[in-house]
Amino acid sequence: MKINQLSIFLENQKGRLWEALNTIATGKINIRALSLADTSEFGILRIVVNDPEKGKKLLEEKQFIVKITPIVGVELSDTPGGLSSVLKILTDNNINLEYLYAFTHEKTEKAILLLQAKDLDLLIKILKKHEIAIVPPEEVYNL
């Protein structure tokens, strides 16, 4: 049910993002989704890759601070209002998201929404109750 995401802490320095992504690329690891947020001091690169354990190991060998973070993937229609309908259900059930990011893929013809909440088990319970399709980790890793 839960997808392992890599959270990589990046100093706000020229080339640091490239170094992280080049490490992933030279390790023959495919990125499935990516989000980057920054502050004045550092950035957090969140990526879903086809081999999270290998990605973490390679990045740590290059002195990156990396954490594996569980998230939940949800499949929804790639149409206007698809995201809004899911967020309405979460709001109505008092689920506060810490962050989210999304992507579409030609294989699925759907949008995949990646969600992080303080209580992932409750999030999953609410999603199931409302028959929202939860994407298995292997499906995302193998896109």
* Domains, the chain, with CATH or none: 2-68 (3.30.2130.10), 71-141 (3.30.2130.10)
Per-residue confidence in pLDDT tens, the chain, 143 aa: 899 999 999 998 899 999 999 999 999 999 999 999 988 788 999 999 999 999 999 999 999 999 999 999 999 888 888 889 999 999 999 999 999 998 887 766 788 999 999 999 999 999 999 999 999 999 888 88
Distant-in-sequence, close-in-space partners of 80: CB < 8 Å, separation ≥ 6? none
Q: What backbone torsions phi and psi does residue 104 show, to the nearest 5 degrees?
A: -115, 160
| Global pTM value | 0.88
Write the Ramachandran bin of 28: left for phi over 0, alpha for psi from -120 to 50, otherwise beta.
left
